[in-house]
């Protein structure tokens, strides 16, 4: 019998056609895909399925589908009030061209105070000095004042500027200093407060200020993890222990009703980390919220909500961390728990063929993923979709909200991009366009383009796609910073969610086979490996061997669910 396994996803619909013998043998014919319209399982999502079935050869006699559970990914953007940063705060340095390199720490002094000290009219704090240059001071005057102080023997260790003057000031100094420019809200810092700044070499990110042990030692605070994580993807950073005066507003709360009958309350202002602590995968029965933004998201999510997962999204153009709270967004994914029961009936009416439901998507993904050459009996299969992570190990499965669409939502919030451009930014490398035919790539290498970049891209960041250079308007960060943030978001969404699923199943597989469209992402193996490879990870000291599925040895990772439906149906037919 000629059967077709049909996998309706959030973004794409896949079809695998095969001939199944009476003995359960399978002769694979072809795989195809089309973009999904509307929410999976809805009437609108029939269009892609019908188009694929119409084009399928040989003619299909039976259609196999999985039980469909819609997933909705929503984006919430607000300042999350955290306690993990202690009294440390970081201010955003938006300049893509800092001056010099290295680390400097000391007491903050204004440029006017420095000039008076050189003239003998003002006493400065003891120890190294960090000079603050306000926007209204011209770079040549600032450089002359700082260089005079250096020649007079004053211990100037670094410079912070409000304007875009780091390079021109650095070029006029007799001593090389790390200089951070375009610092947001430099006016918040009082004279004499302790600050530390770091400028990494081109193509690299800060090391010391992203090290919580160094921060704890230098500033004398026991928990500096939050602020260290905040700057880990940056080329330059500025951190202080000064009390700031604009703490973010508190948000509402989430009420999590768990499958064991208990309930937990999560403060939305506590940020994404609070979700991971309060909600293991597979334990949510439903949720409610008194926050208007979450309530609006819940209104368009099929109930009950079976899972929720969140990731923190630092936002460009704003101060990173205020007193006691970080200016970051939260991107939230919800998994609607009501199966789309009418979809098989609607599909059968529309295509005129028998339609059979063959179990769940996770189990189908496992069956399809295990047709990969080299798969072992101790392997787990993880279907990385747009809306969910479906993981099967040791005969058990868990479905978690938060996958490719959540990475897109987080990137969109981070860089202020529309969804379509954020989707492209998730998959393509970023470059800084220096001249129409000259770019700086993520590895710090300058290279020439075969075709000139569009005028709108010159002088800014852009995506290097197969179709050409695509500008990223308004994204004003260093190329290495954007690339590091993209990789960090994939680790935080995909890697940590996979780790969450393995923990929920208490699974320790020797292999982790990645299936689904998300497995085609060039960075997904590294992102998940980074989350699973730590000694404290759920997979043990080394973590599993991670690789991509090659379904039936020919279809790649995308067709795992569709092919798995065929495999499971063939097993049943042979009984």
Residues 284 and 352 in one domain: no
Residues 101 and 60 in one domain: no
For residue 301, report the phi and psi dihedrals to the nearest 5 degrees. -110, 125
* CATH number of the domain that residue 426 is part of: 2.40.50.140
Residues 189 and 98 in one domain: yes
> Does 484 fall in a domain?
no
> Does 9 fall in a domain?
yes
> Does 510 fall in a domain?
no
Residues 331 and 346 in one domain: no
Helix orientation angle between 419-427 and 404-415, rounded to the nearest 10 degrees: 110
Query: How far apart, in whole angstroms, are the C-alpha atoms of residue 398 and residue 281?
Result: 7
Residues 233 and 98 in one domain: yes
- SS3 category, 309: strand
> Does 507 fall in a domain?
no
Domain boundary (182, 209, 240) is at 240
Domain that holds residue 432: 417-474
Going by C-alpha positions, the residue among 365, 345, 369, 367 that lies closest to residue 357 is 345
Residues 288 and 366 in one domain: no
- Residue 477 has a pLDDT of 86
Domain boundary (206, 240, 274) is at 240
- H-only helix segments in 70-211: 111-118, 139-151, 166-170
Query: How far apart, in whole angstroms, are the C-alpha atoms of residue 441 and residue 446?
Result: 6
Q: What is the DSSP string of 503-533?
A: HHHT---SEEEEESGGGGSTTHHHHHHHHHS
- SS3 category, 112: helix
- Total count of domains within the chain: 4
Q: What are all long-range contacts of 48-55, with beta carbons under 8 Å and residues at least 24 apart?
A: 48/8, 48/12, 48/13, 49/6, 49/8, 49/13, 49/15, 49/347, 49/351, 50/347, 50/350, 50/351, 52/6, 52/13, 52/15, 53/4, 53/6, 53/15, 53/351, 53/353
Residues 229 and 266 in one domain: no
Going by C-alpha positions, the residue among 98, 185, 89, 224 that lies closest to residue 480 is 98
Going by C-alpha positions, the residue among 174, 185, 209, 212 that lies closest to residue 86 is 212
Residues 191 and 94 in one domain: yes
Buried b (16+ CB within 10 A) or exposed e, 278-298: bbbbbbbbbbebebebbeebb
At 559, list the tokens: 């067709």
31, 562 in Cβ contact below 8 A?
A: yes
Q: Tell the residue number behind the tokens 């790649």, with chain if given.
A: 556
Q: Beta strands of 200-247 (E only): which ranges? A: 236-240
> Does 154 fall in a domain?
yes
Residues 213 and 300 in one domain: no
Q: Partners of 288 in the beta sheet? A: 255
Report the 10 Å Cβ neighbour count for 567.
26
How far is C-alpha 124 from the chain's CA centre? 44
* CATH number of the domain that residue 60 is part of: 3.30.420.40
- Residue 229 has a pLDDT of 77
Residues 178 and 292 in one domain: no
Measure the N-to-C terminal CA separation of the chain; round to a whole number of Å: 15
Q: Omega into 58 within 30° of 0, i.e. cis?
A: yes
* CATH number of the domain that residue 94 is part of: 3.50.30.70
Query: How far apart, in whole angstroms, are the C-alpha atoms of residue 258 and residue 164?
Result: 51
Query: How far apart, in whole angstroms, are the C-alpha atoms of residue 373 and residue 530?
Result: 25
> Does 227 fall in a domain?
yes
Residues 127 and 205 in one domain: yes
49, 13 in Cβ contact below 8 A?
A: yes
Going by C-alpha positions, the residue among 393, 395, 378 that lies closest to residue 499 is 393
Domain boundary (454, 474, 494) is at 474
191, 197 in Cβ contact below 8 A?
A: no
379-384 and 511-515 beta bridge pairing: parallel
Report the 10 Å Cβ neighbour count for 187.
11
- Residue 216 has a pLDDT of 83
Edge-first strand order for the sheet with 156-161 is: 89-91, 236-240, 194-199, 102-110, 129-133, 156-161, 179-180
How far is C-alpha 484 from the chain's CA centre? 10
> Does 526 fall in a domain?
no
* pTM for the structure as a whole: 0.72
- Residue 318 has a pLDDT of 45
> Does 175 fall in a domain?
yes
Residues 3 and 126 in one domain: no
Mean pLDDT by 10 residues, the chain (575 residues): 93 95 94 89 89 90 90 57 55 77 94 92 90 92 96 96 92 95 80 92 88 82 72 84 59 86 82 71 91 80 86 60 47 79 92 94 96 96 94 94 92 89 97 96 94 95 96 90 93 94 94 96 95 56 86 97 97 82
């Amino acid at each position: 019998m000629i059967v077709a396994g049909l996998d309706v996803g959030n973004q794409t619909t896949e079809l695998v056609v095969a001939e199944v013998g009476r003995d359960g043998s399978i002769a694979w014919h072809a795989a195809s895909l089309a973009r999904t319209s509307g929410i999976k399982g809805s009437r609108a999502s029939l269009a892609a399925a019908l188009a694929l079935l119409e084009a399928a050869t040989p003619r299909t006699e039976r259609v196999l589908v999985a039980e469909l559970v819609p997933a909705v990914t929503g984006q919430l953007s607000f300042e999350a009030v955290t306690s993990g940063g202690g009294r440390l705060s970081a201010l955003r340095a938006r300049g893509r061209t800092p001056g010099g390199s290295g680390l400097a720490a000391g007491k903050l002094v204004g440029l006017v105070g420095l000039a008076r000290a050189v003239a003998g009219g003002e006493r400065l704090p003891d120890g190294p000095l960090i000079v603050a240059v306000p926007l209204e001071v011209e770079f040549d005057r600032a450089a002359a004042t700082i260089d005079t102080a250096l020649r007079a023997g004053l211990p100037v260790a670094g410079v912070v500027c409000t304007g875009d003057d780091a390079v021109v000031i650095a070029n006029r100094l007799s001593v090389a200093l790390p200089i951070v420019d375009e610092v947001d809200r430099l006016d918040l810092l009082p004279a004499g407060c302790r600050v530390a700044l770091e400028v990494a070499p081109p193509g690299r990110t800060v090391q010391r200020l992203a090290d919580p042990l160094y921060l704890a030692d230098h500033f004398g605070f026991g928990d500096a993890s939050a602020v260290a994580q905040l700057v880990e993807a940056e080329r330059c950073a500025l951190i202080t222990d000064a009390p700031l005066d604009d703490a973010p507003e508190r948000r509402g709360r989430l009420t999590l009703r768990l499958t064991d009958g208990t309930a937990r309350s999560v403060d939305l202002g506590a940020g994404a980390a609070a979700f991971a602590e309060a909600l293991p995968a597979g334990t949510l029965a439903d949720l409610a919220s008194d926050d208007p933004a979450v309530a609006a998201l819940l209104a368009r999510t099929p109930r009950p909500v079976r899972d929720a997962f969140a990731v923190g999204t630092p936002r460009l153009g704003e101060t990173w961390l205020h007193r006691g709270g970080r200016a970051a967004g939260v991107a939230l994914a919800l998994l609607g728990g009501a199966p789309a029961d009418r979809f098989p009936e609607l599909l059968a009416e529309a295509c005129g063929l028998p339609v059979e439901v063959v179990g769940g998507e996770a189990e189908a993904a496992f069956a399809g993923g295990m047709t990969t050459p080299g798969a072992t009996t101790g392997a787990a299969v993880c279907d990385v979709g747009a809306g969910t992570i479906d993981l099967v190990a040791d005969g058990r499965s868990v479905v978690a909200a938060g996958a490719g669409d959540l990475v897109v939502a987080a990137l969109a919030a981070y860089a202020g991009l529309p969804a379509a451009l954020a989707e492209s930014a998730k998959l393509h490398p970023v470059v800084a366009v220096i001249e129409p035919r000259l770019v700086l790539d993520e590895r710090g290498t300058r290279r020439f383009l075969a075709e000139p970049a569009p005028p709108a891209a010159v002088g800014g960041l852009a995506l290097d796609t197969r179709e050409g250079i695509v500008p990223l308007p308004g994204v004003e960060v260093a190329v290495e910073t954007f690339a590091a943030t993209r990789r960090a978001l994939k680790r935080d969404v995909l890697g940590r969610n996979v780790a969450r699923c393995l923990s929920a199943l208490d699974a320790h597989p020797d292999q982790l086979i990645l299936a689904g469209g998300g497995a085609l992402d060039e960075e997904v193996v590294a992102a998940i490996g980074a989350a699973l490879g730590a000694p404290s990870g759920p997979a043990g000291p080394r973590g599993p061997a991670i690789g991509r599925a090659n379904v039936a040895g020919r279809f790649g990772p995308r067709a795992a669910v569709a092919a798995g439906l065929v495999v499971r149906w063939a097993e049943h037919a042979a009984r």
